[in-house]
Amino acid sequence: MTALLRTRMVVAAMAMGIVAALAGGVFDRWVWSLGIAVAIPAAVSIGVRTLPAVARVPAAIVGIAASLGLVIAVEGGQVDDATDAVLSGAQRLLTTEWPSPDRPDLIGAVAVLIATATALATGIAGRRRWHLLAWLPILAAFVSIIALSAPLGEQLIWLLPLGLLGALFAALRPDTALVDRWATLRGERRLIPLLLIAGITAAAVSVPIALSVRADPRRNDPADQTAALLDPIESTLALRGLDPVIDLHQISAIDTAGRALPIRWRTAALSDYDGQRWTPALTLRPIGRRLAPESADQISVEITFLDDDLSLVPFSGAPVTVDAPVETDLDRTVVRLAERRDDSPLAITAEIAPTMADAQVGGVATRAVDDSVSSLNEFAATLAGEGSIIEQLRRIESTMRDDWVLARNAPGGGLQRALIERFLRDTQRGTAEQFATSYVLLARSLGVDARVATGFVATSPPDAGTLVLTSADARVWPEIRLVDGGWVALDPAPPEESSDVAPPDEEPAVQTPAAAQPPIAPPPEVSNDTTTDDNLVDDDRATALSALRLWGQRVGLALGALLLPALFAVLVILGVKRRRRRRRLVRGQPGARVVGAWAAATDRLVDAGLAIAPSDTDGDIAASGVPLVGNAARELRRLAKLSSAVTFGEPERPDLLAEDAATCLGQVETTMAADRSRSDRLKWRLSLRSLRGATRSPVAD
């Protein structure tokens, strides 16, 4: 029996090993150290199996703590990471994007989950009292891991090896002979409902809960909150104004598929213009090394940060992977290092930025012409002329680059809307930031989606696969979006500054009164507000209903999360009892079915509160149970006599006695159910007294 129980514990540990392998999906890579979270708790449980509970529980806690410490050490973490994994690991996992950064504290949080489930599963598997209950923590851990790696999908294929181990575990029943254990595998029907429940639960948890919390790089959800970020345009101006010029980044090619290194490297992109400035209001959240799916047209390079104050990572196109802990927004417009970078190179993979030739093939994306740019539509159409939208955009670009003047110190060089209007309509002489802003506004007035980008444009070509970006290379430029999602950079600013053109004369000041005039009382205001009290009441009612609906959804989600384990427990209890009753009534010879019917009846009596002593005879049990069965007292006594008859004698027609016993059992159960209220009937059916060794019936099973 000892070998059998240890075998059950090993099978449970193997099942948790599969869950630990699946946990790599949380970080989008294999995390082999999570196997430690299975090995140590399982070994501790096997080693202390024969000790009393007061010793097993502390040993299990020590095993969990030891596995957590070893996992943190293997991943290069510190003691603080182990503390964070226990206290705030779950919260940090749910507040980072998928894939989660493979930081020691987050890996430790997953290790705590796996180690706890392993300790529970192996500890229960080593007890003779319970059979399949050990699979409850295994399935709970399986569901949790699927929820945390939900963007990969439900991955229900992992149920196949778990199902095979479950079948093996079900055959290793601790209270029967070895031959009977293998024989029960053919008739084991309890495993199939458990696996179905696990699959349904995994899908139900991973879809509405985890996908709404954990971001997916393949989705583009709006941000729920914003985080302050240093203005990228102001940073670009500060870098470009440095004297002397300093080196900022060194880029070395790893795999460029035969291409030369791009000279344009973007660090940020801005889409929100409020009439004063481009506002960098973004939600930056930690993310793992993968930022987007693999692309067929991408390059791999190493970037060395030559200045300690830099935190934004430059990319040639849409970012794909970065080999460092970073923070980013959902649109991947900014990728910022989560920790200060040392002198070691940073490996990144990025897509190749599309060109206007790609725009000719796929087309440009459209954008609604709103009030902020509608006043420029006529002016933009004049500059654009006739032709396709691509030809119009190129014509605006060439006109601004060839005919307008770039001057760093041009008067009125800010980004306020009035200064941009003056630059477009009057002076046509301004800064690079004004050229980029004006081009974006003109493109938007034509219905094209456009934005402003900041970064670097190298003035010197790469040397032997290495490119150095300096502070003088800092630039601001416009970009337009293609239908397929890529962004094409344009160059409306002239390639060189012109300082020999005299600035235009200042506009004459508007004549002002010779003396200050006394204030004139304003005319009485006439209210044109047609809003009535009824409308205000309707608005308040709509707001209240919206808030009530939101809270109702939250309460419903919370209740669902709480009721799901309860529903699972109810199904398990009912399934165990139904399986037990069915096996007693249909197995073996008629005499065995008579004894099984009496055992089922005694289980009903025990669930109703009857205490049966090991020395009680069948008659004693029937006499004690009469008050609990109401009008079925005669059937209960009859069933007790039939059981004694087949146990201590050899009746001539046992098949008739089996039919009689089944009829008596049905009458007893029906009467006991009818005499109870709905709530009492539910408590009676879900009672665990008949399943616990201390209270269950001693009648032979």
Distance CA 452, CA 489 (A): 9
Distance CA 45, CA 183 (A): 29
* Same domain as 16, residue 99: yes
pLDDT recorded at residue 433: 92
For residue 129, pLDDT over 70 is answered with: yes
Task: Specify if 664 maps to a domain.
Answer: yes
User: What tens digit of pLDDT does each residue of 275-285 get?
Assistant: 888 987 778 88
- Which region among 91-95, 266-270, 399-403 has the lowest average model confidence (pLDDT)? 91-95
- Where among 357, 377, 407 does a domain terminate? 357
pLDDT recorded at residue 170: 78
Identity of residue 413: G
The distance of Cα 11 from the centroid of its chain, to the nearest Å, equals: 30
Cβ–Cβ under 8 Å, residues 221 and 330: yes
**Which burial class, exposed, middle or buried, applies to 544 when counting CB atoms under 10 A from its CB (0-12, 13-18, 19+)?**
exposed
**Which burial class, exposed, middle or buried, applies to 337 when counting CB atoms under 10 A from its CB (0-12, 13-18, 19+)?**
middle
User: What tens digit of pLDDT does each residue of 166-209 get?
Assistant: 878 877 777 655 455 555 545 555 656 665 666 566 555 444 44
Q: 446 falls in which pLDDT band (50, 70, 90)?
A: very high
Task: Specify if 303 maps to a domain.
Answer: yes
Phi, psi of 699 (to 5 degrees): -65, 140
By three-state DSSP, how is residue 566 classified? helix
Pairing of strands 298-305, 346-351: antiparallel
Quote the domain boundaries for residue 237.
232-357
* Same domain as 240, residue 166: no
Mean pLDDT of all residues belonging to the chain: 81
Cβ–Cβ under 8 Å, residues 157 and 25: no
Q: Residue 560: which of 213, 201, 215 has the closest Cα? A: 201
* Same domain as 345, residue 307: yes
* Same domain as 335, residue 282: yes
- Where among 316, 341, 357 does a domain terminate? 357
Cβ–Cβ under 8 Å, residues 450 and 444: yes
Phi, psi of 538 (to 5 degrees): -65, -40
User: What tens digit of pLDDT does each residue of 463-484 get?
Assistant: 778 999 999 999 999 999 999 8
For residue 252, pLDDT over 70 is answered with: yes
pLDDT recorded at residue 242: 86
pLDDT recorded at residue 203: 53
Q: Which is more confident, 558 or 447?
A: 447
User: What tens digit of pLDDT does each residue of 54-108 get?
Assistant: 888 999 999 999 999 999 999 988 988 898 889 888 888 877 778 888 889 999 9
- Where among 357, 386, 413 does a domain terminate? 357
Region 553-576: mean pLDDT is 73
C-alpha distances out from residue 578 to 134, 274, 575, 589, 604, Å? 19, 68, 5, 20, 12
Task: Specify if 543 maps to a domain.
Answer: no
* Same domain as 127, residue 11: yes
Q: Residue 426: which of 402, 448, 410, 450 has the closest Cα? A: 410
Q: What is the 3-state secondary structure (H, E, C) of 310-323?
A: CCECCECCCEEEEC
* Same domain as 348, residue 402: no
pLDDT recorded at residue 480: 94
Q: Which is more confident, 647 or 524?
A: 647
Task: Give how many domains the chain has, as a whole number.
Answer: 4
Residue that the structure tokens 């030559």 belong to: 306
Task: Specify if 532 maps to a domain.
Answer: no
Q: What is the 3-state secondary structure (H, E, C) of 167-214?
A: HHHHHCCCCCCHHHHHHHHHHCCCHHHHHHHHHHHHHHHHHHHHHHHC
For residue 650, pLDDT over 70 is answered with: yes
Quote the percentage of the chain above a pLDDT of 70.
81
For residues 405, 410, 414, 417, the Cα torsion angle rounded to the nearest 10 degrees is -50
Region 20-26: mean pLDDT is 90
Cβ–Cβ under 8 Å, residues 455 and 334: no
Task: Specify if 553 maps to a domain.
Answer: no
Q: Which is more confident, 628 or 694?
A: 628
Phi, psi of 345 (to 5 degrees): -65, 150
Q: Which residues pair with residue 348 across a beta bridge?
A: 301, 322
User: What tens digit of pLDDT does each residue of 331-390 get?
Assistant: 899 999 888 767 789 999 999 998 888 888 888 999 999 888 888 999 999 999 988 999
User: What tens digit of pLDDT does each residue of 529-553 get?
Assistant: 444 445 545 555 555 566 666 666 6
* Cis amide linkage into residue 99, ω under 30° from 0: yes
Edge-first strand order for the sheet with 346-351 is 319-322, 346-351, 298-305, 247-255, 466-470
Task: Specify if 48 maps to a domain.
Answer: yes
Task: Specify if 350 maps to a domain.
Answer: yes
Q: Which is more confident, 358 or 267?
A: 267
Phi-psi map region of 257: left, alpha, beta (phi>0 left; psi -120 to 50 alpha): left
pLDDT recorded at residue 222: 53
* Same domain as 382, residue 346: no
* Same domain as 336, residue 381: no
* Same domain as 41, residue 189: yes
pLDDT recorded at residue 33: 92
By three-state DSSP, how is residue 162 classified? helix
Question: For residue 423, what is the domain's CATH number?
Answer: 3.10.620.30
For residue 157, pLDDT over 80 is answered with: no
Angle separating helix axes 191-205 and 135-148, nearest 10 degrees = 30
pLDDT recorded at residue 162: 81
Region 561-586: mean pLDDT is 78
Task: Specify if 542 maps to a domain.
Answer: no
* Same domain as 369, residue 349: no
- Which region among 110-124, 351-365, 557-571 has the lowest average model confidence (pLDDT)? 557-571
Segment (H or E) for 143:
helix 135-148
* Same domain as 378, residue 338: no
Q: What 8-state DSSP symbol labels residue 103?
A: -
Distance CA 43, CA 49 (A): 10
Region 500-523: mean pLDDT is 47
* Same domain as 676, residue 566: yes
Cβ–Cβ under 8 Å, residues 637 and 631: no
pLDDT recorded at residue 693: 75
